[in-house]
Amino acid sequence: MRCDGCISRREAARPARSAFRRSTSTTLDPQALSDWAEIIHPFHPLRGQKFPVLKSRKYAQRELLSLGGSHRGTIVVPREWTDKADPNPYSTLKMPPPILSYECLCSICDLVTALRSRSRASRRR
């Protein structure tokens, strides 16, 4: 029989749970990526070389791969600099990529709007 506020010996013997949760594992799922990644970035000094993938992690909204086996030890590169990058939708559609992206066009529109309002404000003075 239990009363409010009482705990059993078994519950008292258990270690208290920490308020901090452990972060989820960043080790790769073997089916998610193969064991090797090739650097394909056109200006990277190690372009064309393959390295074993040690782990994957996210940092600042970007997925990074830790690659081993370099003469410098472990290197970390953005996933999009490797052959593990998401496919380019324009290459699969056989269309040329747009000169300006949607986000870039929105930024230009915001800039033009700001310049127009600043110009109108200076004319009123």
The CATH number of the domain where 81 resides is what? 2.30.30
Mean pLDDT of the chain: 78
pLDDT band, residue 71 (cuts 50/70/90): confident
Q: Which domain holds residue 53?
A: 24-86
Look at residue 18 in the predicted model and tell me its pLDDT.
Answer: 56
User: Same structural domain for residues 82 and 105?
Assistant: no
Burial of 50 per CB tally in 10 Å (0-12, 13-18, 19+): middle
d(C-alpha 87, C-alpha 44), whole Å:
19
Residues 100, 120, single domain; the answer is yes
Provide the pLDDT for residue 67: 94
pLDDT at 93: 77
* Distance, CA of 47 to CA of 103 (rounded, Å): 29
For the chain, percent of residues with pLDDT exceeding 70: 70
* Same-domain check for residues 55 and 94: no
Q: Tens digits of per-residue pLDDT, 54-65?
A: 999 999 989 999
Claim to verify: residue 61 and residue 31 sit in the same structural domain: yes
74 and 98 in a single domain? The answer is no
Assess whether pLDDT exceeds 80 at residue 48: yes
In a domain, 19, yes or no: no
Count of the separate structural domains present in the chain = 2
Residue 12 located in a structural domain: no
Instruction: Indicate if 99 and 54 belong to the same structural domain.
Output: no
